[in-house]
Structure 1
Amino acid sequence: MTNGQLEISALDPLDHDTVDQWLELCQTVDDHDFANFETPSEAELLLGHMARPEEVRRLHWVGSVDGSVVSCAEARLYDADNTHLAGATVKVHPDHRRKGYARLLLGAIEDQARREERTTVVSWFLKPYEGSGVDGHAVGFAAAQGYGPTLETAVRRVDLLEVKEDRLDALYREALAKAEGYRIVSFPDPAPDEYAEGIAYLEGRMYTDMPLGDMDLQPAEITVEKVRARERQARRRGLLSLRTIAVHEETGTVAAMSQLETAPGDELIARQGDTIADPDHRGHRLGLLVKIANQRQLRSYRPRIRYVHTGNATVNDHMVAVNEAMGYRMLGMAECYQKELA
């Protein structure tokens, strides 16, 4: 499909010249807009495009002018749970902005969502914050396209080279004294069979327990089969997923968990995934214990990783306090925007 000079087409993974241009575009945009933030490596982008989908299909388009890729878009279509949702990401080369290209690409995602009977499109945007280098143009663009803010999050980062291990030791001992009857277990995914059901239960609670603001996110039924599917997808995308859990000794219940991921081709930054404690087992500092233990597991598997990035809803005072105690410091702000499709 074309509109004036811009030609929008599906990204063919076997069209190596276009893929090379797509990768270069993504790197240029990320360096320009998100210089201080974690951005995907080329290997992660490639494997994410090539990997067989399990729960989420990722569709990619490129926008070209005279054969040169100047913009791109990704649609995420959730096929297992929250099937009313589509996710959207649009990138435009800094030299080709304010020409309507982002609007056209976002329109392509919305058209795809309507064809698949999705009713809501969501997208995350970084917001201006002191020292972040983010100018906020994307937030203004989202509002102009009918997207409204739903959930504000704070992005924090810990520098593992500056972590005071004696301080972490003290925090860990203090928390362990309040966790009598629990044991801490760390492992890389896939999770041992005896813990898979408990992990599925806690992953399901992430859809109901974490602050959601006005996000149109519905409860999900997470099964062991879905946990295994997510693990397979992570491996296919080259991700190393590390998990630490707290197990209640008397019942064998998985009472808390925390997850970290590292991307292929990136030896600098890791991402914090889910951290959650079962409501029946809260008050024992389990969240702090599993996060510290998992951070140390990361150091053993990826000793050259320097930073871990995490995002928390600004209203999530408990997890913010845990992260601050572990040495995480503010990096910037992000917000989820959504639009209900007519």
Structure 2
Amino acid sequence: MTVKIEVEPFEPDQAAAEDLTALYELSMAAVRLDRPDLVVPGYDDWVAGLRQPAAGFGPRGSWVARCDGELVAKAVVYFLPGENEHLALTEITVAPQRRRAGVGTAVLRALLPELEARGRKVVEGWELSKGGVGEQWALAVGLRISKSTISQTLAVRDTDPTLWDVPAPEGFRVAEWAGSAPDELVTSYAHALFAMHDAPAGDSEYRIGEWTAERIRDAEARHREQNVVQRVVVAVSEATGEVAALTQLDLYTAYPEWAVQQDTAVIPAYRGKGLGRWVKAHMLRALLAERPSTEKIYTNVNADNEHMIRVNEQIGFTTSRSTVGVSAEIAELRRLLG
């Protein structure tokens, strides 16, 4: 029997209390099943997080799906900006008791015309557990695996802090900030960020843009608008005054007990000196001195990036799960799903 699914936009800031409660219960049931590595937030923290979009991914749209009035699925789509404006980064979560009944497929089918109407050509999903039900479903409906990644977690209380006692490589000094790069470093910092373009990325359609000082300032403004604090630590060459390496970490007010490790990059001319490990270790020491309540730090790394995986392990990260990214052209999915 075909299940009738009704998909409708969902505004977290305007949602009724009963819908938020139902969505929380659905989300936490899925987290416990699919993401045992994550800390399960309480209701109030979860609602705050729901209303605080991830920084750096552009505008966000949310939808819910109902069957006979019961909330059975949710979908979140980020409409990526700039050179990725053809992409719709999509996550569909189905209530565990409603899986394998066509709910996820019905939600995707309903979303595709909306994504296309917003000028998107490709839909991608990231961080699906390798071999899990999400990957199996994605392949069944016509998406393909576009990259292999791993999730890594640093449990602060279980980690030996001496791992972060990394000496400064000769000829470099550290600089750090939260929220806004110093004027004298912003251009060099932008140049160093572009070093990410040669990091392994599989066959994902996501593209690393060319960073400029202006683009850095725009990104910083978006973080402030979303109430996300980005901490940055860089290694500066004493000889040239330029940024040779960097690492970024995002802090969300909704989740005061954890943090998200973002990009780490080293300019090719300075690689092989241990700068990546040094700036990441300094970041951890500075973060925990300022915010000792931090319990876990999460990050994702392409499975082919053996160097960064090893660096993370050297400072205490452990692999919590293997994941994949999936991708498909929207026009092809519409043809397949009817």
Q: Structure 2 length normalisation: TM-score?
A: 0.88
Q: Hey, what does 1:14 align to over in structure 2? A: 14
Deviation sequence 1:122-173 (CA, Å, 0-9, x none): 1014325xxxxxx71111100011111121112222222233233432xx12
Any stretches of 5+ residues in structure 1 without a counterpart? 129-134
Please state whether the residue corresponding to 2:104 is helix, strand or coil: helix
Are residues 111 and 202 of structure 1, via their aligned partners in 2, closer, same or farther at CA, if it must alter by over 3 Å? Answer: farther
Would the aligned equivalents of 2:193 and 2:246 in 1 still touch at CA under 8 Å? no
Are residues 71 and 198 of structure 1, via their aligned partners in 2, closer, same or farther at CA, if it must alter by over 3 Å? Answer: same
Aligned pairs for 1:271-282 (under 5 A) are 271-282=260-271
Equivalent residue for 1:45, pick from 29, 50, 57:
50
Tell me the matched-pair count: 324
Deviation at 1:113, TM superposition (A): 2.4
Aligned pairs for 1:142-157 (under 5 A) are 142-157=138-153
Please state whether the residue corresponding to 1:267 is helix, strand or coil: coil
Are residues 199 and 108 of structure 1, via their aligned partners in 2, closer, same or farther at CA, if it must alter by over 3 Å? Answer: farther
Is the deviation greater in 97-106 or in 16-25?
16-25
CA RMSD of aligned residues (A): 2.3
Q: Hey, what does 2:174 align to over in structure 1? A: 184
Equivalent residue for 1:119, pick from 118, 121, 141:
121
Is the deviation greater in 220-229 or in 243-252?
220-229
Are residues 267 and 250 of structure 1, via their aligned partners in 2, closer, same or farther at CA, if it must alter by over 3 Å? Answer: same
Q: Does 1:91 align with 2:80?
A: no
Any stretches of 5+ residues in structure 2 without a counterpart? 332-338
Deviation at 1:293, TM superposition (A): 0.4
Q: Hey, what does 2:306 align to over in structure 1? A: 317
Aligned pairs for 1:172-251 (under 5 A) are 172-173=166-167, 176=168, 179-206=169-196, 208-251=197-240
Q: Structure 1 length normalisation: TM-score?
A: 0.87
Deviation at 1:20, TM superposition (A): 4.3
Aligned pairs for 1:22-41 (under 5 A) are 22-37=23-38, 41=46
**Identity within the alignment, %:** 27
Deviation at 1:338, TM superposition (A): 0.6
Would the aligned equivalents of 1:86 and 1:122 in 2 still touch at CA under 8 Å? yes
Is the deviation greater in 192-201 or in 181-190?
192-201
Are residues 136 and 4 of structure 1, via their aligned partners in 2, closer, same or farther at CA, if it must alter by over 3 Å? Answer: closer
Q: Does 1:260 align with 2:249?
A: yes
Please state whether the residue corresponding to 1:318 is helix, strand or coil: helix
Would the aligned equivalents of 2:124 and 2:326 in 1 still touch at CA under 8 Å? yes
What letter is aligned with 1:64? R
Q: Does 1:81 align with 2:83?
A: yes
Q: Distance in 1 between matches of 2:61 and 2:262?
A: 23
Deviation sequence 1:64-104 (CA, Å, 0-9, x none): 23333221111111232211111110011112222211112
Deviation at 1:31, TM superposition (A): 2.6
Would the aligned equivalents of 2:5 and 2:66 in 1 still touch at CA under 8 Å? yes
Deviation sequence 1:188-211 (CA, Å, 0-9, x none): 1222222222222233332x2210
Q: Distance in 2 between matches of 1:167 and 1:246?
A: 19
Q: Distance in 2 between matches of 1:143 and 1:43?
A: 33
Please state whether the residue corresponding to 1:230 is helix, strand or coil: helix
Show structure 1 runs of 4+ deviating over 4 A: none
What letter is aligned with 2:214? E
